[in-house]
Chain A
Amino acid sequence: MTGDATAPMPNASAATALGVDDVTGPRAAPVLRHVSLSVPRGGSHVVLGPMHSGKSTLLRLILGLDRAVSGRVTIDGSTFDAARATEDQLRHMRRRVGVVFDSSALVSRLTLLENVMLPLAEHMTVGADQARETAAGLLHDVGVAGDLERTPDRLTRLDRRRAALARALVLEPAVLIVDEPGNGLDPHAAAELDETMQALHERYRCGILICTQEVRYAFHWPSVVSVLANGRIVEQGSLDELLNSRHEAVRRFVDRRGAA
């Protein structure tokens, strides 16, 4: 399977948690060209790419934070035009997506518990006690211990990532998008976070899209792998296909796997 501009549209059926179909953008200065990929329900997809290859831009286009020139995005069976999505469409779509940003992006003015409770408070008709209990339970599940009334600046980087993971999962999304999961973490902490992500992925059975520059995620997650270079997907397929690829950009990743 390849991510060519002329490749068939990804399957936007009910079995697809996330589908990206021929997306070019952002509108102001296109960085990505004709990107297509899909994440099956309960499955995973790893997008590999060096710094500034457009991984974060892809994430922003999927989430509607930047307008695309063209292309469509399907989330949990609902498709919208990435170039002309309305705020209502985006709002509806975003409720089905959980995102862990590379900076964690916890709201610094709120406590840890409030950060995780926020989506519940906004979108669910649950009582304060139940919301607090759910948030505390999730924080416990992701491995955040201690005082939950701390603000994010008092947490370690690993705990911030874990809390961001808890916040992303609190509404039980159809798809979880994780941007640079190992960003700023030492190898031990990154491995710990990866184990937590795998355990929660097993439990929630949501699709997961991992955007990373670290090739080890392609080995840890039995999934489809896309390699992004210069704004295009230059290789897309199984791990075996990736290992046998002769594309220069792919070889740079694969040949580094020993170090990873």
Chain B
Amino acid sequence: MRQANVASDDDASAEERSPTFAPLGGRFISRGRLVLRSAYWLASLLAPQSPERPTPVTASVTRELDVLGFGAIRLVAVSALLVGLITIFQAAYQLAPYGAEVVSARALAWFVAREIGPIVVAILVVARSAAAIAGEFASMAANGEIDALRVMGLDPVKYLVVPKLAALLIALPTLTAIAIMLAVIGGWLGMSVVLGYNTALFFEYLHESLAARDVGVGLAKSVLFASIIGIVAADEGLRVERRVSAIGAAATRSVVYCLLGVLGADTAVNAFVYFIPGLT
């Protein structure tokens, strides 16, 4: 038996050490690692699997798709319809002095498939899901669930990040396709019902201006945005310390970084497409 002679340093103090805002370089490294590990587990998920082996990851993807994808359809549908109307009204307003309001259908075709569809969907998904993903992971970290997975020799990326990422990779292009269609319908409603133009003329202009390539670029962008949202939100949630107070901060940061990431990537893609002959 002997006396204790060391000043107490309680368990909680260890959790106060890491700064809330890690250096930016640390974030890039952490996200780079997360991208590589997620890519590895996504590839293994796509590889043929034995029907005999249990695959909780596959079941999780279905659940996440329901939450992140189907759950966002109404919001995306209503927003896309309104965005179609707004685009038509704004284009008509700008073109009216030249007597070219009818050309608004072309403006809709130019912008919706390549730009407005994917970016609006990405922003809506960030607003709706990025904070939820980061908050959920941060809450799991505070509750010890992430540690429990690590202790069982299970990679949290495989069981937590990959299902959400896979669901986003399926959901965003699908939502973008839906958004493009509904924005066109919104534009048509604006042109024909409100501005009184002929429906056939609207679709003729639309058909002339909307190329399959534009839709392809829009859908490709949505895949990129899905990856950014999934990786950034997951990383912000997983990197927090085991403190309940860190959950809100992680959720806020994930929205900020996801928005910046989506807008930055969009800028880069637009610049790339503009300067590469054949893609414009």
Contacts and interface: CB of A to CB of B under 8 A. Distances in A.
On whether the two chains bind one another, the answer is: yes
Interface of A: 2, 4, 26, 28-31, 33, 51-57, 60, 63, 65-66, 91, 94-95, 97, 99, 101-103, 105-110, 114, 117-123, 125, 127-129, 131-132, 167, 229-232, 234-235, 245-247, 249-250
Nearest to B17: A28
Interface in B23-60: 51-56, 59-60
Contacts of A103: 143-144
Nearest to B158: A122
Contacts of A91: 153
Contacts of A51: 10
B154 interface: yes
Interface in B1-35: 1-14, 17
A31 B145 contact: no
Contact of B4 (A31, A94, A125, A230): A230
A31 B9 contact: yes
Nearest to A228: B4
Contact of B145 (A29, A33, A107, A245): A107
Given A119-B152, A119-B153, A108 B140 contact: yes
B12 A52 contact: yes
Given A29-B14, A119-B153, A234-B3, A127 B148 contact: no
A240 B100 CA distance: 97
Given A29-B13, A235-B1, A119 B145 contact: no
Given A105-B147, A167-B152, 13 more contacts: A29-B17, A31-B11, A52-B10, A54-B11, A56-B11, A102-B144, A105-B145, A109-B63, A109-B160, A120-B54, A230-B4, A232-B5, A232-B6
A92 B159 CA distance: 19
B150 interface: yes
Contacts of B9: 29-31, 231
Nearest to B53: A128
A231 B8 contact: yes
Interface string B114-153: 0000000000000000000000100010011101111111
Nearest to B7: A230
B: contact size bracket: 35 or more
Nearest to B60: A109
29 contacts: A2-B2, A29-B9, A30-B9, A31-B10, A31-B14, A63-B147, A65-B147, A94-B150, A94-B152, A94-B153, A97-B151, A101-B144, A105-B148, A106-B145, A109-B63, A119-B152, A119-B154, A122-B154, A127-B52, A127-B53, A127-B54, A231-B4, A231-B8, A232-B6, A234-B1, A234-B2, A234-B3, A245-B1, A246-B1
A231 to B, nearest CB: 5
Contact of B53 (A4, A63, A121): A121
Contacts of A94: 150-153
B55 A57 contact: no
B221 to A, nearest CB: 29
Nearest to B149: A107
Contacts of A4: 2
A118 B54 CA distance: 9
B242 to A, nearest CB: 10
Cβ-closest 8 pairs across A and B: A52-B10, A105-B148, A230-B4, A105-B144, A127-B52, A128-B54, A121-B54, A101-B144
A50 B54 CA distance: 42
Contacts of A101: 144, 147-148
A30 B55 CA distance: 40
A170 to B, nearest CB: 9
A63 B151 contact: yes
Contacts of B59: 114
| Residue in A97, A114, A122, A125 with the greatest tally of chain B CB atoms within 10 Å | A122
A187 B248 CA distance: 34
A53 B11 CA distance: 7
Contacts of A120: 54
A33 B6 contact: yes
